[in-house]
Amino acid sequence: MKGLIALAVPQFRRPSGMLGRLVGRYMARKNQQRNTWTIELLDVQPIDRILELGLGPGWAIERISQLVTSGFVAGIDHSDVMVRQASQRNAAAVREGRVRLHQGSADEIPYPDKTFDKAFAVNVHMFWHDPIATLEEIRRVLKPGGSVSIALQPKWAKTEDEVRSRGNRIVQLLEKAEFENIELRSKSMQPVTCVCAIGHKINSSYSQIRANNS
Ligand SMILES: C[S@@+](CC[C@H](N)C(=O)[O-])C[C@H]1O[C@@H](n2cnc3c(N)ncnc32)[C@H](O)[C@@H]1O
Q: What is the DSSP string of 171-206?
A: HHHHHHTT-EEEEEEEE--SSS-EEEEEEE---HHH
Confidence band (pLDDT; 50, 70, 90) for 207? Answer: low
Q: 101 pLDDT exceeds 80?
A: yes
Percent of the chain with pLDDT over 70: 91
Report the relative pairing of strands 72-77 and 49-53 from DSSP bridges.
parallel
Q: What is the pLDDT of residue 10?
A: 84
Across the chain, where does the E strand assignment appear? 49-53, 72-77, 99-103, 116-122, 142-152, 180-187, 194-200
Average pLDDT over residues 57-81: 97
Q: What is the pLDDT of residue 212?
A: 57
Average pLDDT over residues 18-43: 95
Q: What is the pLDDT of residue 160?
A: 94
How many C-beta atoms lie closer than 10 Å to residue 59's C-beta? 23
| Distance from Cα 178 to the centre of ligand 1, integer Å | 23
Ligand 1 probe mutation, 127, 137, 138, most atoms within 8 A of CB:
127
User: From atom 12 of ligand 1, which residue's Cα is the shortest distance away?
Assistant: 54
Percent of the chain with pLDDT over 90: 87
Residue 54 to residues 101, 109, 123, 158, 212: CA-CA distances in angstroms?
Answer: 11, 12, 8, 25, 37
Q: What is the pLDDT of residue 3?
A: 62
Cis amide linkage into residue 191, ω under 30° from 0: yes
| Distance from Cα 204 to the centre of ligand 1, integer Å | 30
The domains located in the chain, with CATH, are: 32-213 (3.40.50.150)
With a 6 A CB cut-off, is 151 part of the ligand 1 pocket? no
Q: What is the pLDDT of residue 32?
A: 96
User: From atom 24 of ligand 1, which residue's Cα is the shortest distance away?
Assistant: 14
User: From atom 27 of ligand 1, which residue's Cα is the shortest distance away?
Assistant: 56
Q: 17 pLDDT exceeds 80?
A: yes
Q: 155 pLDDT exceeds 80?
A: yes
Q: 1 pLDDT exceeds 70?
A: no
| pTM of the model as a whole | 0.93
